[in-house]
Amino acid sequence: MRTISIVFIGACMATSAGAAENPVQLKQAPGLDKVEAHCGACHSLDYVPMNSPFLSGVAWDTVIGKMINAFGAPIDQADVQIIADYLKQNYGK
């Protein structure tokens, strides 16, 4: 009986773990390629629309700075402004 329970629990876990996730679709606009390449390299892009109700333009600048300075995100300075503009224009308060 114990073996059957273990197999059943394992099958349930495998089924839920194998469920397909829908990839997030960010707004099509200039700079999306930089956001996908740089931001999506380290974390899910779900964070962008999830945080957008709370973040103003200044707050997005702060988040980008934190990703670079605190977490070491390797973003070229030329791309920082492109990413910031995209986030502010499409997901800022």
Q: How many domains does the chain have?
A: 1
The CATH number covering residue 54 comes to 1.10.760.10
40 inside domain: yes
**Is residue 2 pLDDT above 70, yes or no?**
no
pLDDT in tens, 57-66: 999 999 999 9
Q: Which residue has the higher pLDDT, 26 or 6?
A: 26
**Is residue 15 pLDDT above 50, yes or no?**
no
25: exposed, middle or buried (Cβ count in 10 Å: 0-12, 13-18, 19+) = exposed
Q: Which residue has the higher pLDDT, 4 or 16?
A: 4
pLDDT in tens, 20-43: 567 789 999 999 999 999 999 999
Domain of residue 80, residue span: 24-91
| Phi and psi angles of residue 63, each rounded to the nearest 5 degrees, phi first | -60, -45
